[in-house]
Structure 1
Amino acid sequence: MSEHNKLSGAAKASYGLGAVGKDMVYMLSASYVLYYFQDILGVSAAAMGVILMVARVFDAFNDPIMGAIVAKTKTRFGKFRPWLLIGTITNAIVLYLMFSAPPTLSGSGLVAYAAVTYILWGVTYTMMDIPYWSMIPAFTEGGKEREGLTTLARSCAGVGSAIITIITVMSVSALGHIFGGADITDRDVERIGFSYFTIVIAALFVLFTVICCINVKEKSTVDMKTASIGEMFRALIQNDQAMTVVVAIVIVNCSIYITSNLVIYFFKYDFGTVGWRGAYTLFSTFGGGIQILAMMLLYPFLRRFFTSIKIYFISMGMAIAGYIMLLVLASTKMDNVYILFIPAFFIFSANGMLAVITTVFLANTVDYGELKNGRRDESVIFSMQTFVVKLASGVSAFIAALALQILQLSNDTAETTTDIDYSQGVDIMQKMGLRMTMTIIPVIGILFAIFWFKKKYILTDEKIEEISSEIAGRK
């Protein structure tokens, strides 16, 4: 590659910045929309569960449609950047509206507001997410440059998610107190705080995307191949190993997301104390850091000694051990958040490594599919990853919301000012129900994924080498 065509540092940094903004917004919605509507505004958990599942499943099917629209776009600014900008601006506006429900709304009006804004949020997010990842071939020249940029963007996305995990709860509380005035209820502090916090995140999101669009130039018109739903399912049915990995990803992600949806409720209603926000923030900061370190350091370290399949089983074992420890510790009278770092280390390390390993396994199924069916379904199989992650997040949100409905956990405290120990108003059965939902159900899911994978997955390192040489021999 000539020096002249090489990607500049500014272009790389700007593209990474786009990923930070994009995943800040994604994490805010994924982690707090259930809590905002159900706990703060009082929408029934069952209604929220249905909305979240229907919206995410619809969104998963919407991905290939948006891909096809982007692929057909031709403008003087390229095919990707116009959609990136339009999607970002509309998504930022919808995000603000979603977390700023009018206080006068209640009952079915509030349910309708939640449904419309959340579905619109998903559609507008897809509008910018698809072109963001699809534009890489349009301004890189393949090989190491392309691989390096993808890795950089994935790491920056992790940073964006971690920022939201760390700052949201404390920032919302601080902004609610600043703009809400004195003597308002805790619920109003959070309602007002979320509205102002979302303005800040939405503005940063637009700013980062604008910087990305200015500094990242599309060098050429790239043919963008997008997979239809029919192609996805055909590729899966004809490739039993891809089917095995996809089922494992759905089950593992469902298990992980159930816990991440409920952990804020655990700190508020079970762990208790007036300073629950600080404890939750510490726990989330530690967990987010461990997850990133596991992806970047722990997995490469273990890979020197073990095969990817062995690391997959090690990760699953770590997750199960972490969940059991969490259940045991939560069932004692323990009130020290630092002790919870022990199960957090096991659970978040496993999450980080599984994110890397499942991508590796999916890549292996592409070669297997080529040998078996005589064609490489690379783009189809990798577009499945987004599809199944969204599907899993919809199913897990529904399960988490159903648990909250059954346990009747919500912020129904009297009109009192802030600094409340919410755990005082929750009985032991509700607490045990919450603990078991966020630990035992994920353990059952992970055990199923272990047995499923052990029985069905055959692509060992030796088998992959064998397949590669057979494909090379055919050519």
Structure 2
Amino acid sequence: METPETMSIKSINNREIDDEQRLTFREKLAGTLAGFNGTIHSQMIAVFLLFFYTDVMEVSLAYVAGLILVARIIGAISAPIFGIIVDRTTTPWGKFVPWYLILGVPIAIFGWLTFTDFNLSPSAELVYITVTFVIYSILVASLQAPAAAVGPAITKRIDDRISMGQIGYFLVMLAAIFISTGVQPLYKLFGGGDDAQGFSILMGLIGVLCVSLSLFQVTSLKEKYVVNLNKKEDRPSIKVLLKAVFTNKAAIIVYIYVFSINMANGIRSAVMIHYFKYYFNFESLMVLFGIVSLVPTILGVMLSSKVTKRIGLKMNVLACAIVSVLSMASVMFIPNTTFGIVMFLVTSVIASLFLGFASPAQGAMLPAAMDYTEWKSGINVNGFMGSLQGFMQTLSTALAGSIAATGLAFVGYVPGIEQSDETIFGLKMLMGLLPSIVIAFTVCVAFFDLTEEKQAKISKELAERRRQGASNN
């Protein structure tokens, strides 16, 4: 039986408004591929950069901790600045879509450079990794602005957005699973015993793949709902931008949610390979962990629309937040035995299932907040709002990587040797207790009040404003 909310969504989506035409699957796929590309690069940084710098290039933990923090903060700060540039720039090929390729090519190049060891002298090596990683961080963070802004620019239909959320999360999941299950065996295979060579070859191939996908995006997408701020008088000041965004409670909740979940997962990702290698003495558990997480996540994504219709967007995401807290905290009670490995995998399966339920709904939250900002303030600043999400993601991963590196040094971690009991306990803290505390802030989604019915109403009123604006012109 349909709820009043879903009936309202259908009735408004079926009205003869500007966005009546549903997106094709090709358009939905192209509109969400940025999540795949971004996840590939951000997860390589989160999962393997610390390991690559310390265990492969043998750079000191202290320097790596500082570099990750500074580089990612620079990237985070640059994201909103780039978002303003995107909002104020229009190209002959579109406002947001062309940036997929404009940024995609240098991201591929600097991703390869970051994970390539040219066997330089110690001082030259520090300069090299600093320059390449800072630029890489800025580019990856900048991609968030056009990536988040494209969705509202190509459709206002709520059903299309939910569908894009499902496809987008499935792609993000595939990227994350590839990083967790495929990178370790692939860099071993390509390197033939030389891990540095293996990482370099793998990142070169990843770069070619991501640029090819960017080409597919720019040739498949057409922007329909954009506001061009080409005239100086049409451009809102920074003060107006900030006021429009930060008087929007829904946007603030989304940013807190994004910051918390990325920081918690970032800390875990950075130390996971160390945890598997030294706690369970089973480094290849990275591959098994990715595989057993795949099926429940896919199942959850497939069922996500039904779950969202039954319990609502907010309750779906809130349930995921609670399960994530409990799952992460359980690490503190898991023994380093075969039974402990089973326990770890079982809790991961449960958390993955709930994450699959919630992730498409999570993806619909920021577009809803963007529409609310335009509806309330009368200005469209989707690029800026998307870049702020990028700022939160980049800042959280910066802090996560630095916390992980500093934490490893604090607990006495030394690469390649048997770790002390104190170090092992510290690894458990970094994998379990600390992330569970951080991710507890995601329960702020309980205050997200843009219901499906309210989103449908806002979409209708924005469509009416567009019609009036077109008739006045």
Check whether TM > 0.5. yes
Shift of 1:176: 1.4
Output aligned runs, 1:56-71, within 5 Å: 56-71=72-87
Output aligned runs, 1:55-454, within 5 Å: 55-73=71-89, 76-80=92-96, 82-106=98-122, 108-126=123-141, 128=143, 130-135=145-150, 140=154, 142-143=156-157, 147=161, 148=163, 152-177=167-192, 180=193, 189-213=194-218, 215-216=219-220, 218=222, 222-224=226-228, 230-231=239-240, 233-235=242-244, 237-240=246-249, 242-273=251-282, 276-277=283-284, 279-297=285-303, 299-329=304-334, 331-334=335-338, 337-353=341-357, 355-359=359-363, 379=382, 381=385, 383-412=387-416, 425-447=418-440, 449-450=442-443
- The residue type equivalent to 1:253 in the other structure is N
Counterpart-to-counterpart distance in 2, 1:19 and 1:357: 15
Decide whether aligned partners of structure 1 residues 263 and 141 sit closer, same or farther in structure 2, where only a CA change above 3 A counts. closer
- The residue type equivalent to 2:349 in the other structure is F
Shift of 1:47: 2.4
Is the contact between residue 75 and residue 139 of structure 2 (CA under 8 Å) also seen in structure 1?
no
Shift of 1:46: 3.1
Is the contact between residue 56 and residue 394 of structure 1 (CA under 8 Å) also seen in structure 2?
yes
Shift of 1:27: 2.7
Is the contact between residue 59 and residue 126 of structure 1 (CA under 8 Å) also seen in structure 2?
yes
Shift of 1:318: 1.7
Counterpart-to-counterpart distance in 2, 1:369 and 1:134: 13
Shift of 1:86: 3.3
Is the contact between residue 408 and residue 426 of structure 2 (CA under 8 Å) also seen in structure 1?
no
Deviations 1:304-329 (A, max 9, x none): 55344444443233223322433222
2:9 matched to which residue of 1? none
2:120 alignment partner, SS class: coil
- The residue type equivalent to 1:143 in the other structure is R
Counterpart-to-counterpart distance in 2, 1:82 and 1:309: 33
Is the contact between residue 37 and residue 48 of structure 1 (CA under 8 Å) also seen in structure 2?
yes
1:103 alignment partner, SS class: coil
Shift of 1:296: 3.8
Is the contact between residue 254 and residue 396 of structure 1 (CA under 8 Å) also seen in structure 2?
yes
Decide whether aligned partners of structure 1 residues 231 and 30 sit closer, same or farther in structure 2, where only a CA change above 3 A counts. farther
Decide whether aligned partners of structure 1 residues 268 and 155 sit closer, same or farther in structure 2, where only a CA change above 3 A counts. same
Decide whether aligned partners of structure 1 residues 405 and 351 sit closer, same or farther in structure 2, where only a CA change above 3 A counts. farther
Count of residue pairs brought into register by the alignment: 439
Decide whether aligned partners of structure 1 residues 25 and 306 sit closer, same or farther in structure 2, where only a CA change above 3 A counts. same
- The residue type equivalent to 2:62 in the other structure is A
1:152 alignment partner, SS class: helix
The TM-score with structure 2 as length reference comes to 0.76
Is the contact between residue 256 and residue 351 of structure 1 (CA under 8 Å) also seen in structure 2?
no
Is the contact between residue 317 and residue 359 of structure 2 (CA under 8 Å) also seen in structure 1?
no
2:3 matched to which residue of 1? none
Counterpart-to-counterpart distance in 2, 1:245 and 1:76: 32
Decide whether aligned partners of structure 1 residues 227 and 169 sit closer, same or farther in structure 2, where only a CA change above 3 A counts. farther
2:5 matched to which residue of 1? none
What is the RMSD computed on CA atoms of the aligned residues? 4.2
Is the contact between residue 368 and residue 455 of structure 2 (CA under 8 Å) also seen in structure 1?
no
1:271 alignment partner, SS class: coil
- Structure 1, 257-266 or 314-323: larger mean CA deviation: 314-323
Counterpart-to-counterpart distance in 1, 2:317 and 2:368: 14
Q: Which runs of 5+ in 1 are unaligned?
A: 181-188, 414-424
1:419 matched to which residue of 2? none
1:102 alignment partner, SS class: coil
Shift of 1:36: 0.9
Shift of 1:404: 1.1
Decide whether aligned partners of structure 1 residues 176 and 146 sit closer, same or farther in structure 2, where only a CA change above 3 A counts. same
Decide whether aligned partners of structure 1 residues 170 and 377 sit closer, same or farther in structure 2, where only a CA change above 3 A counts. same
- Structure 1, 440-449 or 29-38: larger mean CA deviation: 440-449
Is the contact between residue 267 and residue 400 of structure 2 (CA under 8 Å) also seen in structure 1?
yes
Higher-RCO chain (CA-CA 8 Å, sequence separation at least 6): 2
The TM-score with structure 1 as length reference comes to 0.76
Shift of 1:241: 5.1
1:32 matched to which residue of 2? 48
